[in-house]
Chains A and B, each alone.
Chain A
């Protein structure tokens, strides 16, 4: 980093903290929802029906989809966490490393690959 960049202080405004915490917590919560089966709702594409929470596929109604429910759960959780972080004193919010925005998604890739171990059969 250049000397000019080092002397320039990072503006720790609430939008940056909100966006950062939302992105990081959304990624983590999404993986948790996937692995712990925590969808906000279950969509049954065969019958076009929606059930609250986790519902297994019903006989003669085709498969159940949890992906939409995982997104809803993690988006809501991330929004709450991001709002909380944005309301923190700016001094505390500024301590959240910006690098988490790209380190966390990379770190989650092996976890996601592991979560899909069912498919890696030879």
Chain B
């Protein structure tokens, strides 16, 4: 990877990695939110010919949720890998200055994010299995709640990461 640094500065390199991590997180957040809303409040097919067009919320939750499972797993793993790479630089160049500023609650919230997304990573195999068997009604409840839990973790991670980047991001 060192050859990249012949063309761009070290700061730019880590900023690019962080932006890729953030973009992957945005895509994951969108996919998981769609899926979670779809299982939380599934759209019931109504035969209302000539009726009013479905609203935004109805269309938002009327996605075909099983088709999101594979991409959610892929995005979670990719976002995790990029996050793990930049975590090494965060530890030195971001966390230490924040410690020196005494913003311990911010750091604690971010540490909690790291723990939760790691636990989420371990849950991906059973999440994937449950969605690959989406027609099995026995799995409905667990599939629904596990998806909601993962979506909640993703939202928490996204918001916490965003706040931390506002406090002190790469290149600041």
Contact = CB atoms under 8 A, between A and B. Distances in A.
What DSSP secondary structure best describes chain A's contact surface? helix
Interface in B45-82: none
A120 B105 contact: yes
A99 B91 contact: no
Contacts of B129: 15-16, 19-20
A108 B108 CA distance: 16
B123 A105 contact: yes
A63 interface: yes
Interface in B71-116: 84, 87-89, 91-92, 95-96, 104-105, 107-109, 111-112, 114-116
Contacts of B149: 102, 105-106
Contacts of A98: 130, 139, 142
What DSSP secondary structure best describes chain B's contact surface? helix
**Most-contacted residue by chain A among B118, B133, B140, B148 (CB, 10 A):** B118
A56 interface: no
Interface in A7-41: 8-11, 15-16, 18-20, 22-23, 26-27, 30-31, 34
B41 interface: no
B136 interface: yes
Interface residues of A, number: 48
B122 A23 contact: yes
A88 B18 CA distance: 43
Contacts of A15: 129
Interface of A: 1-2, 4-5, 8-11, 15-16, 18-20, 22-23, 26-27, 30-31, 34, 43, 45-46, 62-63, 65, 67-68, 70-71, 74-75, 78, 98-99, 101-102, 105-106, 108-109, 112-113, 116, 118-121
27 contacts: A8-B138, A9-B138, A10-B139, A19-B128, A20-B129, A22-B126, A23-B123, A26-B123, A45-B88, A46-B92, A62-B92, A65-B87, A65-B91, A67-B118, A75-B122, A98-B130, A102-B146, A102-B149, A105-B120, A105-B149, A108-B119, A112-B115, A116-B108, A116-B112, A119-B104, A120-B104, A121-B104
In the A-B complex, the 3 residue pairs with the closest CB atoms: A119-B108, A26-B122, A5-B137
